[in-house]
Amino acid sequence: MEIDPELMEAFKNLQVSMRPISAEELAAFDEHTPLKERNEKQDHPSYSKIPRFFDPPPKPEDKIRQMMRREAHSISLQRQAFMLPDTDELNELWKVLQDHVDETTEAKVQLIEFDSFIKVTEKLGEKFEFFLRPRLFLSLMVNSPVPGKAEVLSIYKYVTGRVELEQGRIGISFYDEMGQGVLQEVDLENYIRDIIPTLAQVSNYLEPSFEIFYVCTVVKKFFFFLDPLHTGRIRIEDAIITGMLSEVLELRNEAKESEEKDDQVAEENEHRNWFSLESVIAVYDTFLGLDKDHNGLLSRDELAKYGSGTLTSVFMDRVFEVSRTFDKEMDYKGFLDFFFALEYRDKPPALHYLFRLLDVGQQGFLTAQNLSYFFEDIARQIKATNAEQVLFQDLKDEIFDMVKPSDPMKITVKDLLNSEQGETVVSILIEYQRFSAYENRDENRANI
């Protein structure tokens, strides 16, 4: 293919500068544009639609602007809340859907066609436009028992669920006074404390003296999973996307649902919700069970009895080196971080926590030396129990084979997460019972 000589010459003469352009140079460049043309450009309707990408919050000393910003944020949230369907309007949604049922199957499943779905949307008005969109119908139609139709009950459940979620988002956003979309720990504490009266499965049985521990446990779980880098803030969007906020708000409806179900099913539903009062009490009881001297703090020896009671000595030393302690003892908040890390070892926040303990030199990676340091305690327990000896070199090679790090000499936390073997790796280094179970995995499978 021949290239046009004139085009080639133009490319040769083209000079491109890669240096940054200052605001002054950009303004000067615009000065070359005739004044009349500049004014016409500025008057163009599209200029009014250019969004503002960043609006810095007022400084702490600017009290008036801070107050105005909080007020504006509050008014905006109130307007959003007003635009959501209320209970009467949701009841009206059900009635209108019933009026537009196109078919009822033998299993008494009510179905609606797309044309009728559009009529429902038009009849209900603007408050439902955001929820009753054509793509909702198409997504529900895929799982419908009759092609081309959607289940009426599924439509209703979707809308009510989304409304509850939006109500939750708006409610929690009131505690973000500056409207930045984030909450500090004290903000979330205030929110949880304020909504407890609306959580029937909590407020009906919560002793006033236990409220502080309930709030502390719930808030700590939010921050453990949503703020693994310890910035002191969590994004409201993350609380919604992960489903954690929805799980808390589900406790509002548990009492109503339990009236319609037998006691066994209601109890199972409560167990599935981590934020139920029973789940939180179980965590607190674990703490109390370890606190043998009943001083409200856990010593190293007391915490070492956690779980199987076979956590290695070097690991426990690292826990107390890294964690915040009071006279070398751990409080309930510190215990919650420890608890979540060991109970959810397959989750990224837990692996971040445990990796930090394994990374003794704070290098950002683990080497054979790190692994050897933690294996020495495992080896001592192997000898004490007269179990079959394991060579460190074999274990080290096995760990590196499992993780397959990008650098064959180092294991980073990213390598652990990508390998999907992080839970196994950390467990066999910090807990003898888990190590023993791993070493005897083939025998255990044969006995099943």
Given 216, 243, 274, the domain boundary residue is: 274
Does 361 share its domain with 434? yes
- Helix (H) and strand (E) counts in the chain: 26, 5
Does 201 share its domain with 146? no
Compute the distance between CA of residue 415 and CA of residue 14 in angstroms, rounded to an integer.
Answer: 45
* Residue 6, domain member (yes or no): no
Work out the pLDDT band at 252, boundaries 50, 70, 90: confident
Output Rg (C-alpha) for the chain, integer angstroms.
Answer: 30
Instruction: Find the mean pLDDT for residues 280-301.
Output: 96
Does 209 share its domain with 342? no
- The string of pLDDT tens digits covering residues 431-440 is 999 999 998 8
The confidence score (pLDDT) of residue 262 equals: 43
Compute the distance between CA of residue 303 and CA of residue 324 in angstroms, rounded to an integer.
Answer: 14
Does 344 share its domain with 196? no
The confidence score (pLDDT) of residue 178 equals: 75
The confidence score (pLDDT) of residue 24 equals: 53
Report the domain count for the chain. 3
Does 369 share its domain with 302? yes
Instruction: Choose among 169, 241, 185, 172: nearest CA to 217.
Output: 185
Instruction: Choose among 247, 229, 262: nearest CA to 161.
Output: 247
Q: Residue 92 is part of which domain span?
A: 82-166
Give the up-direction half-sphere exposure of residue 244: CA atoms within 13 A in the CB hemisphere: 19
State the pTM of this model.
Answer: 0.77
* Residue 318, domain member (yes or no): yes
- Any idea which of 104-118, 216-230, 266-280, 339-353 has the lowest mean pLDDT? 266-280
Does 221 share its domain with 322? no
* Residue 18, domain member (yes or no): no
Work out the pLDDT band at 12, boundaries 50, 70, 90: low
Is 409 within 8 Å of 366 (Cβ atoms)?
A: no
Compute the distance between CA of residue 222 and CA of residue 188 in angstroms, rounded to an integer.
Answer: 9
Does 122 share its domain with 253? no
Instruction: Find the mean pLDDT for residues 110-123.
Output: 94
* Residue 358, domain member (yes or no): yes
* Residue 23, domain member (yes or no): no
* Residue 66, domain member (yes or no): no
In this model, does residue 185 exceed pLDDT 80? yes
> Rounded to 5 degrees, what are φ and ψ at 431?
-140, 120
Compute the distance between CA of residue 126 and CA of residue 30 in angstroms, rounded to an integer.
Answer: 44
Instruction: Find the mean pLDDT for residues 27-40.
Output: 53
Instruction: Find the mean pLDDT for residues 209-238.
Output: 95
Is 188 within 8 Å of 171 (Cβ atoms)?
A: no
Compute the distance between CA of residue 264 and CA of residue 18 in angstroms, rounded to an integer.
Answer: 69
Does 302 share its domain with 390? yes
Does 336 share its domain with 431? yes
Going by DSSP bridges, is the β-strand pair 182-184/233-235 parallel, antiparallel, or unpaired? antiparallel
The confidence score (pLDDT) of residue 204 equals: 92
Work out the pLDDT band at 387, boundaries 50, 70, 90: confident
SS3 content of the chain, % helix, strand, coil (to 5): 65, 5, 30
The confidence score (pLDDT) of residue 447 equals: 52
The confidence score (pLDDT) of residue 234 equals: 96
Instruction: Choose among 57, 30, 98: nearest CA to 180.
Output: 57
For residue 137, the domain's CATH number is: 1.10.238
Does 152 share its domain with 209? no
**Residue tagged 């926590």 (tokens):** 353
The confidence score (pLDDT) of residue 121 equals: 92
Does 162 share its domain with 185? no
- From residue 327, give the alpha-carbon distance in Å to each of 6, 225, 256, 288, 319: 81, 28, 47, 19, 14
Does 193 share its domain with 135? no
Percent of the chain whose pLDDT exceeds 70: 82
The confidence score (pLDDT) of residue 435 equals: 93
Instruction: Choose among 207, 205, 211: nearest CA to 192.
Output: 211
DSSP 48: G
Compute the distance between CA of residue 246 and CA of residue 269 in angstroms, rounded to an integer.
Answer: 14
The confidence score (pLDDT) of residue 41 equals: 53
For residue 425, the domain's CATH number is: 1.10.238.10
* Residue 105, domain member (yes or no): yes
* Residue 21, domain member (yes or no): no
Q: Give the strands of the sheet with 110-113, arranged side by side.
A: 103-104, 110-113, 149-151
Compute the distance between CA of residue 89 and CA of residue 369 in angstroms, rounded to an integer.
Answer: 65
